[in-house]
Chain A
Amino acid sequence: MHDHDLDLIAALADGSLDDQTEARARVESCEVCRVEFEAQVSVLAALATIEPLRMTELEKAALHRDLWTELRNEPANEGSTTPWWYRLSYAAAGLFVVVGLVAVANQLGGSGDAGGQAETFTEASGPLGDGAEGVAEAPREEDGAQSTGTTTAGDASAETTPDFETLAAETREGELPAAERAVATAGQAECLSAAGLVEHELKGTVERDRTYLIAVPAGVDLDADTPVSFVDADTCEVVHVEE
Chain B
Amino acid sequence: MPGTETDLLARVITGDRGAFDSIMRAQEDRVFSVCLRILGDRDNALDATQETFLTVFRKAGQFKGDSALGTWIYRIAVNTCYDQIRKSARRPTESLPDHLEPPDASAEDAIDAAGLRPEIERALAGLPPEFRAAVVLSDLEGMSLPETAHVLGIPLGTVKSRVFRGRRLLAERLGNQTAP
How distant is the Cα of A220 from the Cα of B14 in the complex, in angstroms? 34
Indicate if B90 sits at the interface (CB-CB under 8 A): no
B135: nearest residue on chain A (CB-CB)? A47
Does residue A186 face the partner (Cβ distance < 8 Å to B)? Answer: no
Is the CB of A43 closer than 8 A to any CB of chain B?
yes
Check B164 against A51 for contact (C-beta < 8 Å). no
Q: How far is the CB of A201 from chain B (nearest CB, A)?
A: 16
B13 contacts A by Cβ under 8 Å: yes
Query: A102–B129 Cα gap in the complex (Å)?
Result: 62
CA distance A36 to B165 in the complex (A): 10
Q: Verify B180–A38 contact, CB threshold 8 A.
A: yes
Residues of B within 8 A of A52 (CB): 29, 33
CB distance from B16 to the nearest CB of A (A): 11
Chief secondary structure at chain B's binding surface: helix
At the interface, yes or no: B99 with Cβ under 8 Å from chain A? no
Is A59's beta carbon under 8 Å from chain B?
yes
Question: Quick check: B59 and A78 within 8 Å, CB to CB?
Answer: yes
Looking at A5-13, A90-98, A136-144, A148-156, the stretch in contact with chain B turns out to be A5-13
**How far apart sit A9 and B164, CA to CA, in the bound complex (Å)?**
9
- Residues of chain B within 8 A (CB-CB) of A193 are 18, 21
- B154 part of interface (Cβ distance < 8 Å): no
State whether the Cβ of A79 lies closer than 8 Å to any Cβ in chain B: yes
Chain B interface bracket (under 10, 10 to 19, 20 to 34, 35 or more): 35 or more
**Are B21 and A198 neighbours in the complex by a CB distance under 8 Å?**
yes
B114 touches A3 (CB 8 A): no
With A14-B139, A47-B120, A49-B116 given, is the CB distance from A36 to B58 under 8 Å?
A: no
Which of A20-28, A62-70, A126-134 lies at the interface with chain B? A62-70
Residues in chain B near residue A224, CB distance under 8 A: none
Nearest residue in B to A42 (C-beta to C-beta)? Answer: B178
Q: Which residue of A lies closest to B180 (CB)?
A: A38
A111 within 8 A of B: no
Q: Is B60 an interface residue (CB 8 A)?
A: yes
14 contacts between A and B (CB under 8 A): A10-B167, A40-B164, A42-B180, A43-B167, A52-B29, A62-B46, A67-B53, A70-B54, A71-B57, A78-B58, A79-B13, A79-B60, A81-B13, A196-B17
Nearest 4 A-B pairs (CB), nearest first? A79-B61, A38-B180, A39-B171, A42-B178
Q: Point out residues on B near A: beta carbons under 8 Å.
A: 12-15, 17-18, 21, 24-25, 28-29, 32-33, 36-37, 46, 49-50, 53-54, 57-63, 102-104, 107, 110-111, 114-117, 120-121, 124, 135, 138-140, 144-145, 157, 160-161, 163-164, 167-168, 170-171, 174, 177-180
Question: Knowing that A10-B160, A39-B171, A42-B180 are A-B contacts, what are 11 other residue pairs whose CB atoms are under 8 Å apart, sorted by A's residue number?
Answer: A6-B161, A7-B164, A39-B167, A39-B178, A49-B117, A63-B50, A67-B24, A67-B54, A71-B17, A77-B61, A193-B18
Q: Which residues of A contact B (CB under 8 A)?
A: 3, 6-7, 9-10, 13-14, 16, 35-36, 38-40, 42-47, 49-56, 58-60, 62-64, 66-68, 70-71, 74, 76-81, 193-194, 196, 198
